[in-house]
Chain A
Protein backbone atom coordinates (compact mmCIF):
# COMPACT_ATOMS: atom_id res chain seq x y z
CA UNK A 1 0.00 0.00 0.00
CA UNK A 2 1.60 3.23 -1.05
CA UNK A 3 -0.36 6.02 0.48
CA UNK A 4 0.44 9.68 -0.11
CA UNK A 5 0.44 11.27 3.34
CA UNK A 6 -0.49 14.92 3.45
CA UNK A 7 -1.39 16.71 6.64
CA UNK A 8 -1.25 20.27 5.34
CA UNK A 9 -4.40 19.87 3.25
CA UNK A 10 -6.43 20.64 6.40
CA UNK A 11 -5.47 24.27 5.82
CA UNK A 12 -6.88 24.24 2.28
CA UNK A 13 -10.21 25.85 1.63
CA UNK A 14 -13.00 23.33 1.17
CA UNK A 15 -14.47 23.13 -2.32
CA UNK A 16 -18.07 23.61 -1.27
CA UNK A 17 -17.52 26.58 1.07
CA UNK A 18 -15.08 29.36 1.94
CA UNK A 19 -13.91 27.67 5.13
CA UNK A 20 -10.86 25.45 5.54
CA UNK A 21 -11.17 21.74 6.39
CA UNK A 22 -9.68 22.57 9.78
CA UNK A 23 -12.56 24.99 10.42
CA UNK A 24 -14.95 22.15 9.59
CA UNK A 25 -13.26 19.82 12.05
CA UNK A 26 -13.38 22.39 14.83
CA UNK A 27 -17.04 23.18 14.29
CA UNK A 28 -17.77 19.42 14.06
CA UNK A 29 -16.07 18.94 17.42
CA UNK A 30 -18.19 21.81 18.80
CA UNK A 31 -21.47 20.16 17.76
CA UNK A 32 -20.37 16.77 19.12
CA UNK A 33 -19.46 18.26 22.49
CA UNK A 34 -22.65 20.37 22.60
CA UNK A 35 -24.92 17.39 21.91
CA UNK A 36 -23.09 15.01 24.24
CA UNK A 37 -23.04 17.40 27.18
CA UNK A 38 -26.63 18.66 26.84
CA UNK A 39 -27.85 15.09 26.42
CA UNK A 40 -25.85 14.02 29.46
CA UNK A 41 -27.50 16.70 31.61
CA UNK A 42 -30.96 15.52 30.49
CA UNK A 43 -29.97 11.92 31.09
CA UNK A 44 -28.58 12.59 34.55
CA UNK A 45 -31.65 14.48 35.76
CA UNK A 46 -34.25 12.14 34.25
CA UNK A 47 -32.24 9.00 34.95
CA UNK A 48 -31.82 9.85 38.63
CA UNK A 49 -35.54 10.49 39.10
CA UNK A 50 -36.61 7.40 37.18
CA UNK A 51 -34.00 5.15 38.73
CA UNK A 52 -35.09 6.24 42.20
CA UNK A 53 -38.77 5.72 41.37
CA UNK A 54 -38.00 2.16 40.30
CA UNK A 55 -37.11 1.35 43.91
CA UNK A 56 -40.04 3.33 45.37
CA UNK A 57 -42.63 1.57 47.54
CA UNK A 58 -45.41 2.89 45.26
CA UNK A 59 -46.11 0.05 42.79
CA UNK A 60 -47.66 2.19 40.06
CA UNK A 61 -44.74 4.63 39.96
CA UNK A 62 -42.23 1.76 39.94
CA UNK A 63 -44.02 0.09 37.04
CA UNK A 64 -44.16 3.29 35.02
CA UNK A 65 -40.47 3.89 35.65
CA UNK A 66 -39.66 0.33 34.57
CA UNK A 67 -41.67 0.79 31.38
CA UNK A 68 -39.68 3.95 30.61
CA UNK A 69 -36.40 2.10 30.94
CA UNK A 70 -37.48 -0.91 28.87
CA UNK A 71 -38.82 1.32 26.09
CA UNK A 72 -35.73 3.44 25.66
CA UNK A 73 -33.31 0.56 26.16
CA UNK A 74 -34.77 -1.81 23.60
CA UNK A 75 -34.86 0.34 20.46
CA UNK A 76 -31.60 1.28 18.68
CA UNK A 77 -30.54 4.89 19.22
CA UNK A 78 -30.50 5.56 15.47
CA UNK A 79 -34.11 4.37 15.13
CA UNK A 80 -35.14 6.48 18.14
CA UNK A 81 -33.50 9.45 16.47
CA UNK A 82 -35.55 8.88 13.32
CA UNK A 83 -38.73 8.54 15.38
CA UNK A 84 -38.11 11.93 17.00
CA UNK A 85 -37.13 13.53 13.71
CA UNK A 86 -39.68 12.13 11.26
CA UNK A 87 -42.52 10.69 13.33
CA UNK A 88 -42.86 12.90 16.41
CA UNK A 89 -43.78 16.10 14.48
CA UNK A 90 -46.65 14.19 12.83
CA UNK A 91 -48.19 13.55 16.25
CA UNK A 92 -48.33 17.27 17.13
CA UNK A 93 -51.33 19.57 16.50
CA UNK A 94 -51.28 20.96 12.96
CA UNK A 95 -49.81 24.41 13.64
CA UNK A 96 -47.15 23.21 16.01
CA UNK A 97 -46.27 20.44 13.62
CA UNK A 98 -45.75 22.93 10.79
CA UNK A 99 -43.58 25.16 12.98
CA UNK A 100 -41.41 22.22 14.04
CA UNK A 101 -40.98 21.07 10.46
CA UNK A 102 -40.31 24.47 8.91
CA UNK A 103 -39.31 27.23 11.31
CA UNK A 104 -37.82 25.66 14.43
CA UNK A 105 -34.25 26.95 14.83
CA UNK A 106 -31.43 24.39 15.17
CA UNK A 107 -34.03 21.67 14.81
CA UNK A 108 -31.51 18.90 14.09
CA UNK A 109 -29.44 19.78 17.14
CA UNK A 110 -32.42 19.79 19.52
CA UNK A 111 -33.80 16.56 18.10
CA UNK A 112 -30.45 14.79 18.46
CA UNK A 113 -30.00 16.12 22.00
CA UNK A 114 -33.44 14.98 23.15
CA UNK A 115 -33.13 11.57 21.49
CA UNK A 116 -29.68 10.92 22.98
CA UNK A 117 -30.72 12.37 26.34
CA UNK A 118 -33.74 10.08 26.70
CA UNK A 119 -31.84 7.05 25.40
CA UNK A 120 -29.05 7.65 27.93
CA UNK A 121 -31.52 8.40 30.75
CA UNK A 122 -32.73 4.79 30.64
CA UNK A 123 -29.19 3.55 31.08
CA UNK A 124 -28.48 6.00 33.91
CA UNK A 125 -31.75 4.94 35.59
CA UNK A 126 -30.63 1.32 35.46
CA UNK A 127 -27.35 2.22 37.22
CA UNK A 128 -29.12 4.34 39.84
CA UNK A 129 -31.50 1.47 40.64
CA UNK A 130 -28.60 -0.97 40.93
CA UNK A 131 -26.73 1.47 43.18
CA UNK A 132 -29.69 1.93 45.51
CA UNK A 133 -30.37 -1.79 45.70
CA UNK A 134 -26.71 -2.57 46.45
CA UNK A 135 -26.98 -0.70 49.75
CA UNK A 136 -27.70 -2.82 52.81
CA UNK A 137 -31.39 -2.76 53.77
CA UNK A 138 -30.43 -1.70 57.25
CA UNK A 139 -29.46 1.72 55.91
CA UNK A 140 -32.98 2.57 54.84
CA UNK A 141 -34.43 1.18 58.07
CA UNK A 142 -31.96 3.24 60.08
CA UNK A 143 -33.16 6.35 58.28
CA UNK A 144 -36.81 5.55 58.88
CA UNK A 145 -36.08 4.68 62.51
CA UNK A 146 -34.62 8.15 63.00
CA UNK A 147 -38.03 9.52 62.03
CA UNK A 148 -37.20 10.51 58.42
CA UNK A 149 -39.97 10.28 55.85
CA UNK A 150 -39.41 8.02 52.81
CA UNK A 151 -38.33 11.08 50.81
CA UNK A 152 -35.96 12.27 53.52
CA UNK A 153 -34.49 8.79 53.84
CA UNK A 154 -33.73 8.81 50.13
CA UNK A 155 -32.39 12.36 50.20
CA UNK A 156 -30.12 12.06 53.23
CA UNK A 157 -29.28 8.37 53.54
CA UNK A 158 -29.79 6.32 50.42
CA UNK A 159 -28.97 8.57 47.46
CA UNK A 160 -25.73 10.15 48.75
CA UNK A 161 -24.19 6.71 49.11
CA UNK A 162 -25.79 5.17 46.01
CA UNK A 163 -24.43 7.92 43.77
CA UNK A 164 -20.92 7.52 45.12
CA UNK A 165 -21.08 3.79 44.44
CA UNK A 166 -22.19 4.18 40.82
CA UNK A 167 -19.67 6.79 39.74
CA UNK A 168 -17.55 4.23 37.83
CA UNK A 169 -20.45 2.92 35.68
CA UNK A 170 -21.71 6.49 35.24
CA UNK A 171 -18.26 7.41 33.95
CA UNK A 172 -18.56 4.92 31.13
CA UNK A 173 -22.11 6.13 30.39
CA UNK A 174 -20.78 9.69 30.11
CA UNK A 175 -18.13 8.47 27.69
CA UNK A 176 -20.83 6.54 25.82
CA UNK A 177 -22.78 9.78 25.39
CA UNK A 178 -19.90 11.15 23.32
CA UNK A 179 -19.62 7.96 21.28
CA UNK A 180 -23.36 7.63 20.72
CA UNK A 181 -23.66 11.28 19.69
CA UNK A 182 -22.11 10.18 16.39
CA UNK A 183 -25.54 9.03 15.16
CA UNK A 184 -26.59 12.69 14.90
CA UNK A 185 -24.97 12.85 11.46
CA UNK A 186 -27.87 10.78 10.13
CA UNK A 187 -30.33 13.68 10.48
CA UNK A 188 -27.81 16.20 9.21
CA UNK A 189 -26.13 17.59 12.31
CA UNK A 190 -22.65 18.57 11.15
CA UNK A 191 -20.86 16.78 13.98
CA UNK A 192 -17.41 15.16 13.89
CA UNK A 193 -18.65 12.06 12.07
CA UNK A 194 -20.50 14.12 9.50
CA UNK A 195 -17.58 16.41 8.72
CA UNK A 196 -15.03 13.60 8.63
CA UNK A 197 -17.13 11.84 5.99
CA UNK A 198 -17.56 15.12 4.14
CA UNK A 199 -13.82 15.81 4.19
CA UNK A 200 -13.05 12.30 2.91
CA UNK A 201 -15.42 12.82 0.02
CA UNK A 202 -14.22 16.30 -0.91
CA UNK A 203 -10.48 16.00 -0.34
CA UNK A 204 -9.86 12.28 -0.88
CA UNK A 205 -7.45 12.21 2.08
CA UNK A 206 -9.09 9.23 3.73
CA UNK A 207 -6.64 8.30 6.48
CA UNK A 208 -5.80 11.82 7.67
CA UNK A 209 -9.45 12.83 7.88
CA UNK A 210 -10.60 9.74 9.76
CA UNK A 211 -7.55 9.82 11.99
CA UNK A 212 -8.16 13.44 12.95
CA UNK A 213 -11.79 12.75 13.83
CA UNK A 214 -10.90 9.56 15.70
CA UNK A 215 -8.26 11.36 17.76
CA UNK A 216 -10.75 14.09 18.63
CA UNK A 217 -13.26 11.46 19.81
CA UNK A 218 -10.45 9.93 21.86
CA UNK A 219 -9.77 13.31 23.40
CA UNK A 220 -13.46 13.74 24.32
CA UNK A 221 -13.66 10.29 25.92
CA UNK A 222 -10.43 10.96 27.80
CA UNK A 223 -11.57 14.34 29.13
CA UNK A 224 -14.98 12.90 30.12
CA UNK A 225 -13.16 10.21 32.04
CA UNK A 226 -10.88 12.73 33.80
CA UNK A 227 -13.83 14.89 34.85
CA UNK A 228 -15.61 11.93 36.43
CA UNK A 229 -12.42 10.74 38.17
CA UNK A 230 -12.00 14.24 39.57
CA UNK A 231 -15.56 14.19 40.90
CA UNK A 232 -15.04 10.71 42.33
CA UNK A 233 -11.99 11.92 44.27
CA UNK A 234 -13.75 15.01 45.57
CA UNK A 235 -16.70 13.10 47.02
CA UNK A 236 -14.80 10.09 48.33
CA UNK A 237 -15.93 8.89 51.76
CA UNK A 238 -12.97 8.12 54.04
CA UNK A 239 -12.72 4.44 54.96
CA UNK A 240 -15.07 3.39 52.23
CA UNK A 241 -13.55 1.57 49.30
CA UNK A 242 -15.49 2.15 46.12
CA UNK A 243 -15.42 -1.04 44.11
CA UNK A 244 -14.30 -0.67 40.52
Chain B
Protein backbone atom coordinates (compact mmCIF):
# COMPACT_ATOMS: atom_id res chain seq x y z
CA UNK B 1 0.00 0.00 0.00
CA UNK B 2 2.73 2.47 1.04
CA UNK B 3 6.18 1.86 -0.40
CA UNK B 4 9.07 4.05 0.72
CA UNK B 5 12.24 3.42 -1.28
CA UNK B 6 15.67 4.99 -0.57
CA UNK B 7 14.21 8.36 0.40
CA UNK B 8 16.57 11.22 1.25
CA UNK B 9 15.61 14.77 2.09
CA UNK B 10 17.50 17.97 2.82
CA UNK B 11 16.55 21.31 4.37
CA UNK B 12 19.10 23.45 2.53
CA UNK B 13 22.39 21.80 3.42
CA UNK B 14 20.98 19.92 6.38
CA UNK B 15 20.13 16.31 5.66
CA UNK B 16 17.00 15.31 7.58
CA UNK B 17 16.33 11.90 5.99
CA UNK B 18 18.98 9.49 4.79
CA UNK B 19 18.16 6.60 2.50
CA UNK B 20 14.96 5.52 4.25
CA UNK B 21 13.30 2.33 3.01
CA UNK B 22 10.23 0.68 4.47
CA UNK B 23 6.69 -0.26 3.53
CA UNK B 24 3.19 -0.69 4.89
CA UNK B 25 1.14 -3.54 3.43
CA UNK B 26 -2.63 -3.46 3.07
CA UNK B 27 -4.28 -3.97 6.44
CA UNK B 28 -0.98 -3.58 8.27
CA UNK B 29 -0.34 -1.27 11.24
CA UNK B 30 3.20 0.11 11.36
CA UNK B 31 4.38 2.19 14.31
CA UNK B 32 7.28 4.59 13.71
CA UNK B 33 9.16 5.64 16.83
CA UNK B 34 12.45 7.25 17.77
CA UNK B 35 13.87 10.19 19.72
CA UNK B 36 12.66 13.71 18.88
CA UNK B 37 14.43 15.18 15.87
CA UNK B 38 14.97 11.73 14.39
CA UNK B 39 12.96 12.61 11.28
CA UNK B 40 9.92 10.40 11.89
CA UNK B 41 7.40 13.25 11.56
CA UNK B 42 9.15 14.47 8.43
CA UNK B 43 9.03 11.00 6.91
CA UNK B 44 5.30 10.58 7.46
CA UNK B 45 4.63 14.03 5.94
CA UNK B 46 6.51 12.91 2.83
CA UNK B 47 4.04 10.09 2.32
CA UNK B 48 1.27 12.47 1.24
CA UNK B 49 3.73 15.03 -0.11
CA UNK B 50 3.19 17.71 2.53
CA UNK B 51 6.99 17.69 2.45
CA UNK B 52 8.85 17.21 -0.83
CA UNK B 53 11.66 14.68 -1.12
CA UNK B 54 14.86 15.17 -3.10
CA UNK B 55 15.88 11.54 -3.62
CA UNK B 56 14.19 8.16 -3.77
CA UNK B 57 10.59 7.21 -4.33
CA UNK B 58 7.36 6.89 -2.42
CA UNK B 59 4.54 4.89 -3.97
CA UNK B 60 1.06 4.93 -2.45
CA UNK B 61 -1.39 2.40 -3.89
CA UNK B 62 0.49 2.34 -7.19
CA UNK B 63 0.81 6.15 -7.49
CA UNK B 64 4.29 7.66 -7.35
CA UNK B 65 3.98 10.57 -4.90
CA UNK B 66 7.02 12.53 -6.02
CA UNK B 67 6.12 12.33 -9.71
CA UNK B 68 5.38 15.92 -10.80
CA UNK B 69 2.50 14.61 -12.91
CA UNK B 70 0.74 13.14 -9.89
CA UNK B 71 -2.50 14.90 -8.96
CA UNK B 72 -1.64 15.54 -5.33
CA UNK B 73 -5.07 16.69 -4.11
CA UNK B 74 -6.57 13.52 -5.55
CA UNK B 75 -3.96 11.36 -3.87
CA UNK B 76 -4.24 13.14 -0.53
CA UNK B 77 -8.02 12.79 -0.60
CA UNK B 78 -7.51 9.02 -0.43
CA UNK B 79 -4.94 9.15 2.38
CA UNK B 80 -6.31 10.21 5.76
CA UNK B 81 -4.05 12.21 8.06
CA UNK B 82 -4.25 13.10 11.74
CA UNK B 83 -1.97 15.82 13.09
CA UNK B 84 -0.23 16.42 16.39
CA UNK B 85 -2.12 19.68 16.96
CA UNK B 86 -5.45 18.39 15.57
CA UNK B 87 -5.69 21.23 13.02
CA UNK B 88 -9.45 21.40 13.02
CA UNK B 89 -10.59 24.53 11.21
CA UNK B 90 -11.43 26.90 14.10
CA UNK B 91 -13.87 29.03 12.10
CA UNK B 92 -16.12 26.09 11.23
CA UNK B 93 -18.47 24.05 13.45
CA UNK B 94 -17.67 20.38 14.08
CA UNK B 95 -20.20 19.34 11.43
CA UNK B 96 -18.72 21.77 8.92
CA UNK B 97 -15.24 20.46 9.68
CA UNK B 98 -16.44 16.95 8.88
CA UNK B 99 -18.32 17.96 5.74
CA UNK B 100 -15.99 20.46 4.04
CA UNK B 101 -13.62 17.91 2.49
CA UNK B 102 -16.44 15.66 1.30
CA UNK B 103 -18.23 18.59 -0.34
CA UNK B 104 -15.31 20.47 -1.87
CA UNK B 105 -13.07 17.56 -2.80
CA UNK B 106 -15.27 14.50 -3.25
CA UNK B 107 -18.18 16.52 -4.64
CA UNK B 108 -20.73 14.96 -2.30
CA UNK B 109 -23.99 16.78 -1.69
CA UNK B 110 -24.29 18.77 1.51
CA UNK B 111 -26.91 16.47 3.01
CA UNK B 112 -24.93 13.36 2.17
CA UNK B 113 -21.75 14.85 3.63
CA UNK B 114 -23.43 15.91 6.86
CA UNK B 115 -25.13 12.53 7.27
CA UNK B 116 -21.84 10.71 6.83
CA UNK B 117 -20.10 13.17 9.15
CA UNK B 118 -22.64 12.70 11.92
CA UNK B 119 -22.38 8.93 11.59
CA UNK B 120 -18.61 9.10 12.09
CA UNK B 121 -19.01 11.57 14.92
CA UNK B 122 -21.28 9.07 16.62
CA UNK B 123 -18.64 6.46 16.10
CA UNK B 124 -16.02 8.47 17.99
CA UNK B 125 -18.62 9.16 20.67
CA UNK B 126 -19.12 12.88 20.07
CA UNK B 127 -22.48 13.10 18.34
CA UNK B 128 -23.76 15.47 21.02
CA UNK B 129 -21.13 18.07 20.08
CA UNK B 130 -22.01 18.34 16.39
CA UNK B 131 -22.91 22.01 16.47
CA UNK B 132 -20.08 23.21 18.69
CA UNK B 133 -16.87 24.84 17.51
CA UNK B 134 -13.43 23.24 17.91
CA UNK B 135 -12.44 25.77 20.60
CA UNK B 136 -15.28 24.51 22.80
CA UNK B 137 -13.96 20.93 22.91
CA UNK B 138 -11.15 19.41 24.97
CA UNK B 139 -7.95 18.33 23.24
CA UNK B 140 -8.92 14.66 23.31
CA UNK B 141 -12.33 15.42 21.84
CA UNK B 142 -10.78 17.60 19.12
CA UNK B 143 -8.41 14.83 18.15
CA UNK B 144 -11.29 12.34 17.91
CA UNK B 145 -13.10 14.78 15.63
CA UNK B 146 -9.92 15.06 13.56
CA UNK B 147 -9.87 11.27 13.17
CA UNK B 148 -13.51 11.35 12.12
CA UNK B 149 -12.70 14.10 9.61
CA UNK B 150 -9.99 11.94 8.05
CA UNK B 151 -12.35 8.95 7.96
CA UNK B 152 -15.09 11.00 6.31
CA UNK B 153 -13.06 10.90 3.10
CA UNK B 154 -13.21 7.08 3.07
CA UNK B 155 -9.41 6.79 3.01
CA UNK B 156 -7.57 3.69 1.82
CA UNK B 157 -5.01 4.21 4.59
CA UNK B 158 -4.39 6.52 7.54
CA UNK B 159 -1.34 8.48 8.65
CA UNK B 160 -1.03 9.55 12.31
CA UNK B 161 1.61 12.16 13.17
CA UNK B 162 2.12 12.00 16.96
CA UNK B 163 -1.63 12.10 17.56
CA UNK B 164 -1.40 12.04 21.37
CA UNK B 165 1.75 14.02 22.16
CA UNK B 166 -0.08 17.37 22.49
CA UNK B 167 -2.68 15.90 24.84
CA UNK B 168 -2.95 15.94 28.62
CA UNK B 169 -2.27 12.43 30.00
CA UNK B 170 -5.87 11.79 31.02
CA UNK B 171 -7.07 12.37 27.45
CA UNK B 172 -4.62 10.10 25.68
CA UNK B 173 -6.60 6.92 26.17
CA UNK B 174 -9.85 8.13 24.61
CA UNK B 175 -7.89 8.83 21.41
CA UNK B 176 -5.90 5.61 21.55
CA UNK B 177 -9.11 3.62 21.99
CA UNK B 178 -10.46 4.99 18.72
CA UNK B 179 -7.17 4.14 17.00
CA UNK B 180 -7.10 0.60 18.39
CA UNK B 181 -10.64 0.03 17.18
CA UNK B 182 -9.65 1.25 13.70
CA UNK B 183 -6.64 -1.07 13.66
CA UNK B 184 -8.72 -4.05 14.69
CA UNK B 185 -11.11 -3.35 11.84
CA UNK B 186 -8.20 -3.81 9.46
CA UNK B 187 -7.43 -0.19 8.51
CA UNK B 188 -3.98 0.30 6.99
CA UNK B 189 -2.15 2.62 9.38
CA UNK B 190 1.21 4.32 9.66
CA UNK B 191 1.53 5.81 13.14
CA UNK B 192 4.28 8.04 14.50
CA UNK B 193 4.01 7.77 18.28
CA UNK B 194 5.76 7.21 21.57
CA UNK B 195 2.87 5.15 22.92
CA UNK B 196 4.52 1.77 23.19
CA UNK B 197 1.42 0.28 24.79
CA UNK B 198 -0.45 1.02 21.57
CA UNK B 199 2.36 -0.52 19.54
CA UNK B 200 2.35 -3.68 21.65
CA UNK B 201 -1.39 -4.03 21.38
CA UNK B 202 -2.05 -3.53 17.65
CA UNK B 203 1.12 -2.92 15.64
CA UNK B 204 2.36 -5.53 13.22
CA UNK B 205 5.74 -3.93 12.74
CA UNK B 206 7.79 -1.26 14.46
CA UNK B 207 10.17 1.06 12.64
CA UNK B 208 12.81 2.76 14.78
CA UNK B 209 14.43 5.94 13.48
CA UNK B 210 17.43 7.91 14.67
CA UNK B 211 19.20 10.89 13.10
CA UNK B 212 17.18 10.68 9.88
CA UNK B 213 17.86 7.00 9.32
CA UNK B 214 15.78 3.89 9.75
CA UNK B 215 17.84 1.96 12.25
CA UNK B 216 15.51 -0.91 12.85
CA UNK B 217 12.48 -2.29 10.99
CA UNK B 218 11.20 -5.41 12.71
CA UNK B 219 8.15 -7.48 13.58
CA UNK B 220 6.57 -6.23 16.79
CA UNK B 221 7.58 -9.20 18.89
CA UNK B 222 11.14 -9.11 17.63
CA UNK B 223 11.41 -5.39 18.34
CA UNK B 224 10.13 -5.58 21.89
CA UNK B 225 11.87 -8.90 22.53
CA UNK B 226 15.41 -8.06 21.51
CA UNK B 227 16.11 -4.97 19.46
CA UNK B 228 19.25 -5.50 17.41
CA UNK B 229 20.67 -1.98 17.55
CA UNK B 230 22.06 -0.41 20.69
CA UNK B 231 20.24 2.90 20.03
CA UNK B 232 16.88 1.14 19.96
CA UNK B 233 17.70 -0.72 23.18
CA UNK B 234 18.62 2.54 24.91
CA UNK B 235 15.47 4.22 23.61
CA UNK B 236 13.24 1.38 24.75
CA UNK B 237 14.76 1.20 28.21
CA UNK B 238 14.28 4.94 28.66
CA UNK B 239 10.72 5.02 27.43
CA UNK B 240 9.56 1.85 29.18
CA UNK B 241 11.16 2.64 32.53
CA UNK B 242 8.40 5.09 33.41
Q: Is there a direct interface between A and B, measured as CB atoms under 8 Å apart in the complex?
A: no
Q: Tell me the A residues contacting B by CB distance below 8 Å.
A: none
Q: Tell me the B residues contacting A by CB distance below 8 Å.
A: none
